[in-house]
Amino acid sequence: MRRRLLIPLAASLALASSLAACSSEEGAGAEAGEKELTVLAAASLTETFTALGEEFEKTHDGVDVTFAFDSSATLAAQAVEGAPADVLATADLRTMDDAVAGGAIDGDPQTFATNVMTLVVPADNPAGISSFADLDKPGVDYVLCVETAPCGVVGAALIADGGITADPASLEVDVKAVLAKVASGEADAGLVYVTDATAAGADVVSIEIPGAETQLLEYPIGVLEQTGDDDLAAEFIELVLSDEGRRVLADAGFGAP
């Protein structure tokens, strides 16, 4: 008898809660139609900006934040071509300069984070590498980014500055490919950003590169000329620059500007 009662009760509860979920979603959807914020951000910001976007939605009722994560050069070009978006955040000053020169940025962009390169080795460190100079040891296979990518330019400069004479075993197309080669143990070492090393967790071990900070990457953020809501875009940038934003970025390995 009890069981008979329980089932319809549970069913109606489930129905009620799903209805409630529906209506609340609908409400958010209707309001989101009024306010939407689109952010173009460098691929290396995927985790941090997604977290900050959720934070922003929490504090701004009815605002829907959407992201497009891609390479900085691609995003800057899209911004110049008038892509419908409100904020642009890139992984280096050069690409932001391109966007500014193309008239896509309203006002001056601000630097909100920095990133440096680090040496990573597989967790079991098969080549026994303990310092940057060990890249020159015979039989060490290390990998870099190809020099047409920003990480390749910085990587090659650090190799030259460090007096490393051994050639890399391979030039990978982007920093994630370098990380994958090292994490899977297919390379003895590789040069990636500190944030990539942080994201890889226990798969890799980081070794500091002497003088890495001389090749600092600065991350600028700016409001796009074509934004429909200056204030909302500025508020998002405020969040990124706030203590809260600072904390999220620092957790991911980004340095302070």
Which residues of this chain interact with another protein, rule CB under 8 A?
73, 141, 143, 146-149, 167-173, 184-186
Q: What is the DSSP string of 170-229?
A: EEESSHHHHHHHHHTTSSSEEEEEHHHHHHHGGGEEEEPPTTGGGGPEEEEEEEETT-S-
Burial (Cβ within 10 Å: 0-12, 13-18, ≥19) of residue 91: buried
Of residues 180 and 234, the one with the C-beta less far from another protein: 180
- What is the rounded CA–CA span in Å between residue 145 and residue 191? 8
Q: Which helix (H) or strand (E) holds 28?
A: helix 2-34
Of residues 160 and 256, the one with the C-beta less far from another protein: 160
Residue 182 CB, shortest distance to another protein, in Å, is: 11
Residue 217 CB, shortest distance to another protein, in Å, is: 17
* List of E strands, 27-127: 35-42, 63-70, 87-89, 105-115, 117-122
Of residues 183 and 249, the one with the C-beta less far from another protein: 183
142: which residues sit within 8 A by CB, 6+ positions away? 135, 166, 168, 169, 187, 188, 189, 190, 191
Of residues 187 and 224, the one with the C-beta less far from another protein: 187
Of residues 19 and 173, the one with the C-beta less far from another protein: 173
Of residues 100 and 187, the one with the C-beta less far from another protein: 187
Residue 106 CB, shortest distance to another protein, in Å, is: 29
Residue 168 CB, shortest distance to another protein, in Å, is: 7
Look at the block and give the residue holding tokens 């995003």.
75
Residue 144 CB, shortest distance to another protein, in Å, is: 9
* List of E strands, 26-86: 35-42, 63-70
Residue 145 CB, shortest distance to another protein, in Å, is: 10
